[in-house]
A = this chain, B = another copy of it.
Amino acid sequence: MVENKKIIMVGIPGVGKTSLLEIMVDILKNHQKNVIVINYGTLMFEVAKENGLKDRDELRKLSVTEQQRLQKIAAEKISEHNEEIVIIDTHAFINTPEGYYPGLPLHVLKIIKPDNFVSVSAKPEEIYNRRMKDETRNRDKITLANIKKELDVQSGMISACSVITGSPVRLVLNTEGNITEAADKIIKAIGL
């Protein structure tokens, strides 16, 4: 295993995780840190393509065994990264018709061995507004009740991840207008 910091950052769509990550990376690079952000979903799709798949939809139709094989390859690729700080940009779960798919199952966590989890949340109303502005989404299905349920599931799943790995989870409330402050807080808290 490479000796560096591996940070897993999760957040349901609309919490503002992408912007938060960009600011974090800016700050870290200004401090001459060797940092890389790996999007787990993108990496999984690359691995799947190398294994013969054509689009993301095919990925979900694979057997559980085959999906886990691809997840394992992706996790191994992450664990081989030797940058000083490796941030894994992912989700505690992905909302699919089959239900909430865990983004960080036990067998993946055992390979990545993250040092820290950062779980980003936001006020349900702010998440609602961000999702309603997102043109790629089906707005009919966006309700405050669903968003609250998703925040609950995120919290439950990330607690399980923390118990499984023994690594701490920092909960971050990303409030509108305070994103640089939030990025700064995370960096100081984790000691990056």
Residues of A within 8 A of B (CB): 3, 63-64, 67-68, 71, 93, 96-102, 104-108, 113, 115-118, 149, 152-153, 155-157, 159-171, 188-191
Q: How many copies does the complex hold?
A: 3
Q: Is the CB of A100 within 8 A of B171?
A: yes
Q: Is the CB of A155 within 8 A of B153?
A: yes
Assuming the A-B contacts A98-B191, A171-B100, A189-B98, are A153 and B159 also in contact, with contact meaning beta carbons closer than 8 angstroms in the complex?
Answer: yes
Q: Is the CB of A159 within 8 A of B160?
A: yes
In the complex, 5 of the A-B residue pairs with CB atoms within 8 angstroms, ordered by the A residue number, are: A64-B113, A105-B163, A156-B160, A157-B163, A159-B159
Q: Which residues of B contact A167 (CB under 8 A)?
A: 64, 102
Q: Is the CB of A99 within 8 A of B163?
A: no
Q: Is the CB of A170 within 8 A of B98?
A: yes
Name the residue on B nearest A63 (C-beta): B3
